Amino acid sequence: MPKKDSLRFIMNNGKNRYCNVRCHDALKKPCMCVCGGINHGVGSYLATGNIQALLDQKDDIGFSTIFVRMIQLQLFLTKSVD
C-alpha cells in the first residue's frame, strides 16, 4: 500500500508497483524500486519531475501507466488577541 507521496506503476502483467518516499528520501545504497534508481534519494518533488524520464523507459521497465499521488499539507498558525 502506498504511503504519502508515491508513484504507482501498473505493470504490463496487471500488478501494481510503487516508487515512494522510501526511495525518494533514501540516504543509503539504491533500493530495488521499480524506478530503477532514477528517483533514489532525490526527494518527492524531483521524483515527480522525473516522470518523463520514466515514460521514456516505459518499454524497458515494462509498465503501462503511472499514477501520481502527492500530499501537500498547509498549516496556518494564528495568534489570538485577547
Query: pLDDT class for 2, splitting at 50, 70, 90?
Result: very low
Per-residue pLDDT at 13: 92
54 vs 66: CA distance, rounded Å = 9
Per-residue pLDDT at 52: 83
45 vs 48: CA distance, rounded Å = 6
Q: Is the pLDDT of residue 73 over 50?
A: no
Q: What is the mean pLDDT of residues 13-18?
A: 90
Q: Model pTM greater than 0.85?
A: no
Angle at 12 between CA 69 and CA 20, to 5 degrees: 25
Q: How far is CA 7 from the centre of its chain?
A: 4
Cell numbers given for 60: 524497458
Domain boundaries, the chain: 6-69
Q: Which residues contact 25 (CB under 8 A, 6 or more apart)?
A: 41, 43, 44
Q: Is the pLDDT of residue 30 over 80?
A: no
